[in-house]
Amino acid sequence: MAGGSRPRTGPVGGAGRDRDRAGRAGPRPRPVRDRLADHLAGRRTLLVLDNCEHLADACARLAQSLLGAAPGLRVLATSRATLGLTGESVLTVPPLSVPDEAVELVRDRAAAVRPSFRITEANREAVTRLCARLDGLPLAIELAATRLRTLTVDQLMDRLEDRFGLLTAGSSTARPHQRTLRALIDWSHELCSPPEQLLWRRLSVFAGGGFDLDAAEDVCCGDGLPRGEILDRLDRLVAQSVVLTSEDESRPQYRMLETIREYGRGRLAESGEERPLLRRHRDYFRALAESSAAAWYGPGQEEALARLRAQHGNLRLALEYDGADPGHRQAALVLVAALRFHWCADGFLGEGRDRIERALAAAPEPTAARAGALWAGAWAALLQEDHRTADRWLTEADELGERLGDPVIRAYVQGLRGTSALFVGRLDEAVSLYEGAVSAQIAAGEGPGALFSLFQLSVARAHLGDPRAAESGRRAVAAAEEHGERGCRSYALWALGHDAWVRGDTASALTFTRAGLEIQRGFNDYAGTALMLELLAWITASDGDRARAGRLLGAIRALWRKIGTGITAFGPHLAEHHTRCEETVVRALGTAGYERALAEGGGHDVPGPAIADALGAPVARAEPAADADPLSRREREVALLVARGMSNRRIAAELVLSPRTVDGHVEHILAKLGFRSRTEIAAWVAAHKDQVPTP
C-alpha cells in the first residue's frame, strides 16, 4: 500500500461497495437469493429441497421468494413437516407396501450381510409379519435386516418388544439420526414444540386402531394442554407425519404407526402420567359404549356400530385396565354389557362371550352391573348353543333383578328365556314368554326394547302356523319405523318373510327378505345376514335355481364359521329348512357340483360382499299376491306422490305430515319393496295402479 497506509476493510464511498483482492473499490455482491431468483426468472425449472424439516421456516421463505420471482419454477420439497405455503400441494409418501416392497427390501439388505439368506415358502410368512410389525418403515426394515446376520426371522420377531434397543446396527457413515431407530424418532420428536410433544405422548395411550377427535380432546386435555388447543396441536402432528389420517370423511380417524406409538408410550411412562391417562381412556370408552347402548333402538345404529368397530382396539384396552380404584371391576361389567350389540351383532361373538365371562368371574358382587352383564352374556351364550350356561346366567340375573327391584332387568331376562325356548323348539312356551316380555318391557318404560322380543314372537308363531305371526311382524316393523330403528326392523322384515315362506307365499317371502337384506347392507351383522341369506337360499332353491342356492349356502357356511355358530343355534325348525334345501341342491347338482357351488359362494365370508352378491345376482322378482300388498295405506299414498315427482317436503305439506315422518315412510317403502331409488318406486306404482289409489 502506498505511503504505508493501512488497507480499509469497510465500505468505501458509501453502501454497496467493497474492495477487491487488489484493494480496488467495487460493487458489493448481491445476496445469493436475489442472484438465484434472477437466474430462474425466465426458466422452467424444478428445484428440489431435500430434508427440510429442521429448516422448515427458512426453506419456506426461500421457496416463497423464488416462486414469486420465477413463474416457471416448481419446487419439490421433502420434509417431515409441510412448509405451509399458499398453493402447496402435499403428497404423503406412505411406508413400503407389505408384503411386496417391504419383503423385497428385507431380501436385499439381509443378503448383503448374510449371502446365504433367501426368502422361501418356509419363512415368507414370518418375514411378512416382521415387515408389518415394523410398519413398512424403510430404516426400521434395513436395521432389522442387519440383525439377520446372527438371528433367524423368528428370533428377531421375538425381540421386537424392545425394538428401540434391538434396531441399533446402522451404518457408521449415515447421518447421526439415521443410525438407529431411536435416533430417527428422537429427531422427529425434537422437531416438535413442547405442547406437540406432550400431545404425542398422550395420544400414544390409544390402541393401534386409532382414535377420533372427540376421544383425543376428552382423554388428552388438561395439565398444560387446554381442550381448545388439541385440534391445532393435532393438526401440527398430522402435518409432521407423526399422526396419520384415514379417508373416512364422515368421522375422520387418526392413528400412529406402531413404532411412533411405542416411542410415545415410553415417553408417557417416563412422565408419570400413564396410569391416570389410562383411567381417563377407560372412562371415555365406557361412556361411548353406554351411550351407544342407551340409544340403540333409534336412528344411527349403523354409525354407532361402525364407530365401535373402528375403536375395537381401544375397547379391548379399556377392558384390560387394571386400576387401583375399587370400582374398576364394576366398570368392566358395565362396559361388557354395554357392548352387547358390538359382540352379538358385529362379528365379535366369541370374543364378547370370553370378555363377559372374565368380567363376571372378577366381580361376583350382587350389583345391577353384574345383572346387566349376566343377561348380555346369556344372549351370547344362546347364539353359541350353550343353553346350560345361558339358563344359569338368566336365573341369577332374574334373582338379582328381583332383589334390586329392577323390572327392566327382569323384562329382558323374560325375553331371553323366550329365545332359549325358541332355540330348542319349545314354541308354545316361547310365545308365552315373548308376550309377557313385550308387556313387561312396555310397562317398565322400555317400549323400543320390546322390538327384540316382537320379531322373535313372529317367528315362533310362524313355526306354530299361528295366523297372528304376520300381525306380530307388522307390529314390529311399525314400532321400528316409529323410533327410526333399523336393526330390528330388518329382522322383523325377515320374520315376515319367514312367515310368508311357511305359508307358501314365496313372492312375498322374497320381497320381505330382500328388503331386510337391503337394510343389513349398513351393518356388519354376521348372524342377521346369514339368517336372511338362509331364507333367500330356500326361496331360490324352490324356484328352481339350485346352482345359485348352492352358492348362497356357501356364503352362509362361511359367515357362520366366522362367528363360530350355525343355523342349528336358532332352533330345529330353521335347521330342518336348511337341511331340506341342502338335499334339494345336492340332488340337482350332484355332490361334486354342490361342493363347487359351496366353494364359490364361500369366497363371500363377510356380510357386505355376501349381501351385494346376493342382491346383485339376477333374480326374477315375483310379484306379491294381491292380498299380500306390503305397503300400508299411508305408504301407498306417499308412494303415489313420489311417483308424481314430489320432494319429501312437498309430500309432507300435501299430506299434513312432518318432513321427518315422510322421510321414514319413503325409507320404509324402499326397504319393503327391496328398492334403492325413487325411480323404482315410481315404476312400481305404475305397475300397481289398482293397489295405489289416489289419496
Residue type at position 554 = G
As to burial, measured by CB atoms within 10 angstroms (0-12 exposed, 13-18 middle, 19+ buried), residue 399 is middle
Distance in angstroms (rounded) separating the CA atoms of residues 530 and 501? 17
| pLDDT reported for residue 343 | 95
Residues 639 and 684 sit within 8 Å (Cβ to Cβ): yes
Four-CA torsion 280, 284, 286, 292, nearest 10 degrees: 180
Residues in the chain predicted with pLDDT less than 50, given as ranges, are: 1-17, 172-174, 617-628, 693-695
Distance in angstroms (rounded) separating the CA atoms of residues 520 and 488? 10
| Cα 453 to chain centroid, rounded | 28
| pLDDT reported for residue 169 | 57
| pLDDT reported for residue 354 | 96
Query: 579 by DSSP, 3-state: which?
Result: helix
Grid cell listed for 35: 442472484
Other beta carbons within 10 Å of 307: 18
| pLDDT reported for residue 6 | 33
| pLDDT reported for residue 224 | 87
| pLDDT reported for residue 159 | 78
Half-sphere exposure of 141 (CA within 13 A, CB side): 25
| pLDDT reported for residue 505 | 92
Residue type at position 399 = E
Distance in angstroms (rounded) separating the CA atoms of residues 586 and 551? 12
Distance in angstroms (rounded) separating the CA atoms of residues 139 and 117? 19
Distance in angstroms (rounded) separating the CA atoms of residues 381 and 345? 13
| pLDDT reported for residue 93 | 72
Give the pLDDT confidence of 430-479 residue by residue, as tens digits.
999 999 999 999 998 888 888 989 999 999 999 998 999 999 999 999 99
Angle, vertex CA 173, rays to CA 101 and CA 155, nearest 5:
50
Distance in angstroms (rounded) separating the CA atoms of residues 451 and 68? 66
Other beta carbons within 10 Å of 270: 10
Residues 214 and 254 sit within 8 Å (Cβ to Cβ): no
| pLDDT reported for residue 58 | 85
